[in-house]
Amino acid sequence: MIPPAAPPAHTPASTQSRVLAAGARPMVEAQRVSVRYGKHVAVEDVTVSIGRQQITALVGPSGCGKTSFLGTLNRLSDLIPGCEVAGRVSVDGEDIRARGFDLVGLRRRVGMIFQKPNPFPLSVRRNLEFPLREHGVRDRARVAEVVEQSLRNVGLWAEVKDRLDAPALALSGGQQQRLCIARALALEPDVLLMDEPCSALDPLSSGVVEDLIGQLRAQYTVLIVTHNLAQARRIADNVALFWAQGGPGRLVEHAPTEAFFESPRDPLTIAYVGGLRG
Amino acid sequence: MSPSHRDRALGWVLRATAALVAAIVVLIVAFLVVESAGVLRKLGPLRFLTDPSWHPTSGSFDLTAMLLGSLLVTVGAVVLATPAGVASALFCRYYAPAPLAKLYGRMIEVLAGIPSVIYGMWGLMVLVPLIGKWQPPGPSLLAAVLILTLMILPTIALFSDAALAKVPDRYVRGAAALGLTRWATLRGVVLPAARSGLFTGVLLGMGRAIGETMAVLMVCGNVVQTPGSLFDPIRPLTANIALEMGYALGDHRSALFVSGLVLMGMVVVLVGTAELVSRGRLHG
């Protein structure tokens, strides 16, 4: 067998130590993860460790595989016809790509927020109740309690408590996105994946959602894809830069936010942060 | 002709076509009204519901048994075909592997195109003898219901499939990301989202069932009576018109137009309901 190519200079070995304290157990770990759609390779050879209860921003230009990578962490990539994932992904030490892995349990533990808010065409209350019940929370009092608490956690309770039975699609875009976050939080996940959760919202709603994401730190492990470097700087503990140079996207640099912006090591990061590229 | 003239000419041609189509609907209704007006004025509409029986040549014009026959076959067929049609669409869109789904979809389309007399022939030669062996005589309400079920099944399946196709993919992905099983996603998210489209399909299937004549006529037995069981022969309004129109005269003939008017009214109500539903004013 031909041994795998020697890792390039900016691989995890050099970056990991900057992000994770020695001996810390990562929440999410990817080892040499690649994603391809048919012949097109979207991301190649991503190795990264994500610390617990931290916010990690995935940044980089469009089409560099950030979203594709995110989809491997809850195996939503399984739903895309022709999408193939290689490498090892583990959540809390468990290999989630193992044969027969409990997908329902995985997706309960790893919630996802999409770019476009996607509340179900049901009432506000049903949007929260339905997934809860499907995951076995059936006690009425308990369900009502979780519904209220989840809405309070996203600052939506005061706004919707008098119209819990109104259609969720009648809410504003920002409210819908917060409802989606509440819906994910109601299942008490460990990890939240967010795919540009603010980019489809108006500036005011975007600010509200961004503040909310900032508050999730310390309770959840958050991975957030964003095109907004200023946003990454405001909310993230760590930043990971993805870059596709003519070929598939790769992880270029993964560093604590301050180091990422103040003392980037990779020339691409230096250029990107300096606004020269991307 | 300059482009703007051609545009205007096309506009007028299309307007004329539309006017013609609209005029046909109005003319048919007007024709039914005019033809039935004589007997309605002479006897009053109530006689059609209160007379002791349907013996039009002896001046007895009760339509209730046949009206009930029409309603029972329609309701029976819709009750059976709705779950089957929706299930077929769910299978096609969410469970079947792509090549099978395509083949299956084509087969449903062919099923929708089979002439009703073929359904009738099959019913007469296969279904009726089978029922007759089990519960004589054979030609019955049940036979009519089963044949109609087969006939409206493709209508409901095709409309359900179109309704499911319109459910945005982001609902399905959102549900998957919440760890919902496929069945929970369909039951809790997809079907409610497609509800108004599904309902429209059912109403159109129902319209087809009410109006169907030939296939039903061939298997229902055509006895004018209120059925006491599923195995009794019946005669729906449509079959009655087809059977008697050839020789009916005078008031009898007018009475058949009255039943035509009643059928037309039922279909208008259904189409109107379907329209309201698809606009989301009901259940939407």
Q: What tens digit of pLDDT does each residue of A84-108 get?
A: 999 999 999 999 999 999 999 999 9
Give residue limits of the domains in chain B. Answer: 3-47, 64-278
CB within 8 Å: B184 and A134: yes
Q: How far is CA B282 from CA B184, B189, B192, B199, B279, in A?
A: 25, 18, 13, 10, 8
Element (H, E) at A113: strand A110-113
**CB within 8 Å: B177 and A112:** yes
Name which of B167, B174, B185, B190 is nearest A117 in CA terms.
Answer: B174
- The reply to whether A76 touches chain B by the CB within 8 Å rule is yes
Q: Name the 3-class secondary structure at B226.
A: coil
Distance from the Cα of B194 to chain A's closest Cα (Å) equals 10
pLDDT tens digits, one per residue of A187-224: 999 999 999 999 989 999 999 999 999 999 889 999 99
CB-side neighbour CA atoms (13 Å) of A132: 23
> Which chain A residues are Cβ-neighbours of B193 within 8 angstroms?
120-121
Cα A70 from Cα B241, distance rounded (Å) = 66
Q: State whether B178 and A74 contact (CB < 8 Å).
A: no
A191: chain B residues, CB-CB within 8 Å = none
In one letter, which amino acid is A9?
A: A
Confirm or reject contact between A125 and chain B (CB < 8 A). no
Domain ranges of chain A: 24-273
A73 contact residues in B (CB cutoff 8 A) = none
pLDDT: is A23 or B256 the higher one?
Answer: B256
Amino acid occupying residue A257:
T
**CB-based contact A120 B170, cutoff 8 Å:** no
Does residue A8 sit at the B interface (CB-CB below 8 Å)? no
Instruction: Please state, for a pLDDT cut of 70, what percent of chain B lies above it.
Output: 98
**pLDDT bracket for residue B3 (50, 70, 90):** confident
Please report residues of A whose CB lies closer than 8 A to that of B175: 120
Please give the class, per CATH, of domain B64-278: mainly alpha
pLDDT at A277: 56
The gap from C-alpha B142 to its chain's centroid, in whole angstroms, comes to: 17
Answer yes or no: do B171 and A180 touch at CB < 8 A: no
What does pTM read for this prediction?
0.82
Over the stretch B102-111, which tens digit does the pLDDT of each residue have? 999 999 999 9
| A34 vs B62: CA distance, rounded Å | 76
Does ipTM exceed 0.90? no
- B48-99 pLDDT, tens digit per residue, is 999 999 999 998 999 999 999 999 999 999 999 999 999 999 999 999 998 9
DSSP string covering A48-93: EEE-TT-EEEEE-STTSSHHHHHHHHTTGGGGSTTEEEEEEEEETT
pLDDT digits (tens, 9 = 90+) for A216-234: 988 999 999 999 999 999 9
Q: Which of A61, A6, A63 has its CA nearest to residue A40?
A: A63
- Contact at CB, B188 and A120, closer than 8 angstroms: yes
Q: Span A24-273: which CATH code?
A: 3.40.50.300
pLDDT at A1 over 70: no
A–B interface: beta-carbon pairs under 8 A: 63
